[in-house]
Amino acid sequence: MGVRAEATPNPNALKFTTDKLIFEGDSSISVMPGDTSKHEILNDLMNVEGVDNVFGYQNFITVNKMFDTEWDDLQPKIIDVIENHGY
């Protein structure tokens, strides 16, 4: 089924869900500008132009975009990163 993008109540955030577990355990992971994570997928997403911050938990990653970025431009790049990590 691949990666599915879902709207959130925040118009600057999309939730990307996969059929596979991305993050083990019961802890969520957030990466803010200037931070790095032990999870390369989150670091790679933070390197995508237009991404402001990311939040991951089990089988999904929520991506917050910068205000001046359009989802039509950003969404395919995010899906590429997630798929390139095998999800």
pLDDT at 22 over 80: yes
pLDDT at 58 over 70: yes
Structure tokens given for 31 = 């990466």
Q: What backbone phi and psi angles, to 5 degrees, belong to 16?
A: -110, 115
The radius of gyration computed from the CA coordinates of the chain, to the nearest angstrom, equals 12
Query: How many structural domains comprise the chain?
Result: 1
Q: How far is CA 76 from CA 2, 25, 36, 61, in A?
A: 13, 28, 22, 14
Which range of residues forms the domain containing residue 31? 4-84
C-alpha dihedral sign at 34, 46, 15, 31: negative
CATH number at residue 46: 3.30.1370.70
What secondary structure does DSSP assign to 11-25, as a single string? TTEEEEE-SS--S-S
Tell me the average pLDDT of the chain.
Answer: 97
pLDDT at 7 over 70: yes
pLDDT at 1 over 90: no
